[in-house]
Structure 1
Amino acid sequence: MTFASILITGASSGIGAALARHYAAPGKILNLWGRDGDRLAAVAEECRARGATVVTRAFDVTEYSKFVIALEEADAAHPLDLAIFNAGLGGSLPKDRVGQDARHAELMAGVNFTAPCIGANVVAGPMAARKKGHIVLVGSVAAAFPLPMAPLYSGSKAGLEMFAQALSLRLRRHGVAVTLVAPGFIDTPMSQSLNEPRPFLISADQAAAIIARRLAKGRRHIVLPWQFSMILGLSKLVPRAVVRAILSVF
């Protein structure tokens, strides 16, 4: 399927910005949304220079009422072929802290789980009515593991993974595809803030190319880079008690 009208949240940096640049071309309509207006404007200019028509919105996806209205307006103006809910919030706990404060927990759950669930539900209706469209939810390989150094992050991404699986089953009879993207370590501002090793690191541009190529092939679950596909496969062969024992070291 070719994608002419595309929405990307979290488009001001990282994977979102890289995907915007990847898809930017004459005849493409890009709805690019992000929190940082200045960085978003810079990405938009790059995309316009490549021939794309670009519409930007600078706001936080946890402003749910604005988010819903913006989605409805975007689809009404140019019916969406591809909606990529990429906005995410990371972070891990310092070793001297037991938990995170309530506001941070609310924000991470909102950005990583609630907002993409709301967004996917809003665009699912009109896509189903047209019997075409593709919804992409960007999760993380962290969803597969109970990470003691990042319980909020791994937990919110695990919830998103289950939502993606259920929504895919629900929408396939209506001609709408749902894909879960599960990145490992990508060289983005989010991962650069981590005080820990980043094995198998790839650039955001490399990640965008892999994601776009696999979406074009209709893949429903995209794990990248490839080493993490192997890790996830092998982890299913290891007893859960062993996995927990290994993770409890961190």
Structure 2
Amino acid sequence: MARRRPGGEIRFDPATILMTGASSGIGAETARFYARAGRTLILWGRDAGRLEQVARDCRAAGATVITRVLDLSDGQGALAAFRQDDSANPVDLLVLAAGLGDMRPSADKTERAETVLELGLVNYATPAALATAAAERMVARRRGHIVLVGSVAAFHALPFAAGYSGSKAGLTRFAEALRNGIGDHGVGVTLISPGFVDTPMSRRVASAKPFLQSAPQAARLIARAVEEDRAHLIFPRLFAGLRLLDQLLPAPVRSAILRRLKADQAPRPAA
């Protein structure tokens, strides 16, 4: 799992990688980035057709690929699937890239309760449970790395996306706590907080998307953060500054600014 560079230092070189959200966006491009001979990729996604296309690309690059179609809103099913996959192929790197991004329609005054529940399951509860299941097994093996893909939305109380920003805020705190809990046992934890990335989810957003990055760019940044065992990567860097500004502003000023923000989004395509 480790390989020496010419300079002699060791970098993380996982043999088996499990990726959620692998049928599109950041998950798909991260799978393609890691695909090479000698690696086993276990790819999870909701869309069977798109997942198989990603799998074909990864096999063409030389990787052994196993696919699983499932929805992370079924947390118990996801846990059972992870334990089955890890028992067959012990996972060195778990990348929890699956997520949903929904906001309040501009014509509505509140979000739908059912949507907020789904966001909580897919963006927070199930990834946190999967990370915990992986941590249990990786700690026993004293090796491995867990990546949780959050969002810069976690840093701001967005009035039109309380469910989304709240679920990502929960994941942010969980990732920090998990790293503190298992960091002395040979297992790394990295939180990724991207801004706008050109994915099917972000293309639904009708408002401006400043500093938009491509999904392949995001995949390269994630892989570098894993190799460096970074606790938290925020990109683009401008959003780290915005996070600090949010923390420094007096609460009334911060709330007044956030209430003025406007955004809209196309409906989510049928699964």
What amino acid maps onto 1:188 in structure 2?
Answer: T
Structure 2 match to 1:132: 143
Structure 2 match to 1:64: 75
8 Å contact 1:109–1:156 — kept in the other structure? yes
Structure 1 residue ranges, 4+ long, deviating more than 6 angstroms after superposition: none
Alignment of 1:4-153 (within 5 A): 4-153=15-164
* Partner Cα separation in structure 2 for residue 239 and residue 57 of structure 1: 47
What amino acid maps onto 2:230 in structure 1?
Answer: R
8 Å contact 2:19–2:43 — kept in the other structure? yes
What amino acid maps onto 2:60 in structure 1?
Answer: A
Structure 2 match to 1:200: 211
What's the CA shift for 1:63?
Answer: 1.7
| Residues 165-218 of structure 1: per-residue CA shift (max 9 Å, x gap) | 111111112221111100100000000001110000010001111111121111
* Partner Cα separation in structure 2 for residue 45 and residue 191 of structure 1: 25
8 Å contact 1:140–1:183 — kept in the other structure? yes
What's the CA shift for 1:134?
Answer: 0.6
Structure 1 match to 2:265: none
2:176 corresponds to 1:169: no
* Partner Cα separation in structure 2 for residue 167 and residue 240 of structure 1: 29
8 Å contact 2:139–2:185 — kept in the other structure? yes
| Residues 103-135 of structure 1: per-residue CA shift (max 9 Å, x gap) | 212111110011101101111111000111111
Query: What residue ranges of structure 1 are gaps of 5+ in the alignment?
Result: none
8 Å contact 1:5–1:78 — kept in the other structure? yes
* Partner Cα separation in structure 2 for residue 47 and residue 161 of structure 1: 30
Structure 2 match to 1:217: 228
What's the CA shift for 1:32?
Answer: 0.4
What's the CA shift for 1:226?
Answer: 2.1
The TM-score with structure 2 as length reference comes to 0.89
8 Å contact 2:105–2:111 — kept in the other structure? no
Identity of aligned residues (%): 48
What's the CA shift for 1:241?
Answer: 2.6
Query: What residue ranges of structure 2 are gaps of 5+ in the alignment?
Result: 1-11, 262-271
What amino acid maps onto 1:178 in structure 2?
Answer: V
| Residues 76-123 of structure 1: per-residue CA shift (max 9 Å, x gap) | 111111101111000211222122222212111110011101101111
| Residues 1-26 of structure 1: per-residue CA shift (max 9 Å, x gap) | 21111011000000000100000001
2:192 corresponds to 1:181: yes
2:166 corresponds to 1:155: yes
